[in-house]
Amino acid sequence: MAGSEVAPLRVSAFPAPGKQHGGAPPRLAGRARDVLVFAAGVAAAVLALLGSASVLGAPGSRLVAFPVPGPEDGPRTFYDDPELSYDAVDGRRLTGWDAKRAEWLRSRGLGRRPAPERVVMVSGSQPEPCPGDAGDHLMLRFLKNKLDYCRLHGIKLLYNRDFLQPAMTSYWAKIPIVRAAMLAHPEAEWVWWVDSDAVFTDMDFSLPLATKYAGRNFVAYGWPDKIERKSWLGINNGVFLLRNCQWSLDLLDEWARMGPAFPEHGQWAKVVLSSLADKGNSTWFDDQSALVYLLLYNWERLGKKAFIETDYFLMAYWLDVVDRLDGVAARYEAVERRMPWLRRRHAEREHMRYAAARNAAVSGAVPGPAGGGYKGWRRPLITHFVGCQPCSGERNPMYSRESCDDGMRRALGFADDQVLRAYGFRHAAPLNDSVRPLPFDYPARNN
């Protein structure tokens, strides 16, 4: 403003020569001057912060003020109940969950069920470093794979590395964290457990939650012939879906009571091991055996709400698919060579639009069901490396180290190529970790 200009403050790092002694007032010593400059900077920052805070919430402001929650802020919910416990073992049994969850949703303006239904994926690994060679590196790659799928599909991922109940370790550790996730995420309609050694090998496929699983509360992959003879291998719980409801909480509580944290664990082990096929003389009582027994021997009570998936690979056994992935990729590329609109480059946020178009295009050109299956050449949704034990390295003796290691690398690279596509790259070869840039109009110009 005219007549009121302020001379700019100039700070010199070094004093002018010959001015430290003599009649002129001495300059501040170096340290004192630095303190003064720092204090001036802090004061300016505080004034700027106060200035911006004074307009929070004002019309046209880009900043939004979030009031600090207090004891009287908003209606009381189930979270305010001192008897609520997240503990799957020592905690009090939770009842009335459907009504409590519905009231929480209404109190937060989320009463109407959104489409698509909200999903929280839960996975995890042990809290200690992996003892196996390259175990931590493989766990990182498996985690990245889940992050990629969740990002593309708008799914929240909860990755746990803690034993929430010390007695429920190893395979049993999934029960406490799945139960806690349901309570911590009442906004989610589904909780989706995925084992750490499972790889998403179809980044396009979306779960048919609203259409196929309406009215069902539990979904897992199974084999009808093994279910018929009550084999402990009839249903695999390395990947399963639970609707966030009272029925599911009751199932988790019943399942947990068969585990090592409860005194009746030993009795259940005898009953289950003697009742299920394919156990032989094994004394190993795991969470899958408990769940299979619980479902198959209580089918009249639980079966109406359970869905055993067999139409697509909600969870594919890795030996059935890894050697076919190169052929699957070749068939998908052949379809895209004939359809230029699928080759158009696009932002990653548009992935689902192109995924729908690609699925429609390959459905008539590549045999097999969407999500993969024993017949055909469609991408399997999930490839599960059961028995390879990438973290511990203590794989099942029936598998060679080479078959497990190459299989995991092949599946992870196959999935990565689907993600890297939006960034203009792909791997140089199926078992090669280096990448190469994609030419324009790929795969029509595949050079």
pLDDT tens for 325-336 read 999 999 999 999
For residues 446 and 417, is the Cβ–Cβ distance under 8 A? Answer: no
Which position has the higher pLDDT, 201 or 169?
201
For residues 436 and 425, is the Cβ–Cβ distance under 8 A? Answer: yes
| Average confidence score pLDDT of the chain | 86
Place of tokens 């609203």: 210
Q: Give percent of the chain with pLDDT exceeding 70.
A: 83
pLDDT for position 132: 86
Q: What are phi and psi of 72, to 5 degrees?
A: -100, 10
User: What mean pLDDT comes out for the span 391-413?
Assistant: 95
As beta bridge partners, residue 383 has 199, 316
Pairing, β 156-160 against β 198-200 = unpaired
- Using pLDDT thresholds of 50, 70 and 90, give the confidence band for residue 283: confident
User: What mean pLDDT comes out for the span 312-335?
Assistant: 96
Q: How far is CA 330 from CA 324, 379, 414, in A?
A: 10, 11, 11
- Using pLDDT thresholds of 50, 70 and 90, give the confidence band for residue 110: confident
For residues 249 and 97, is the Cβ–Cβ distance under 8 A? Answer: yes
- Using pLDDT thresholds of 50, 70 and 90, give the confidence band for residue 18: very low
Q: What are phi and psi of 332, to 5 degrees?
A: -65, -40
Q: Which two tokens stand for residue 173?
A: 């550790």
Q: Spell out the domains of the chain, with CATH numbers in brackets.
A: 110-196+206-311 (3.90.550.10), 317-437 (no CATH)
- Using pLDDT thresholds of 50, 70 and 90, give the confidence band for residue 389: very high
Q: Which two tokens stand for residue 226?
A: 């093994």
- Using pLDDT thresholds of 50, 70 and 90, give the confidence band for residue 51: very low
Place of tokens 């158009």: 344
Place of tokens 């050449």: 377
In degrees, rounded to 5, the angle at the alpha carbon of residue 103 between the alpha carbons of residues 86 and 118 is: 70
pLDDT for position 344: 94
For residues 222 and 308, is the Cβ–Cβ distance under 8 A? Answer: yes
Place of tokens 């140089």: 428
For residues 236 and 423, is the Cβ–Cβ distance under 8 A? Answer: no
Tens of pLDDT, residues 419-435:
999 999 999 998 899 99
Q: Which residues of 202-232 are buried (b: 16+ CB within 10 A; e: fewer)?
A: bbbbbbebeeebeebbbbbbbeeebbeeebb
444 CB burial (10 A radius; 0-12, 13-18, 19+): middle
pLDDT for position 92: 78
CA pair distance 75, 64, nearest whole angstrom: 22
- Using pLDDT thresholds of 50, 70 and 90, give the confidence band for residue 16: very low
Residue 66 has pLDDT above 70, yes or no: no
Min mean pLDDT across 30-39, 159-168, 280-289, 384-393 is at 30-39
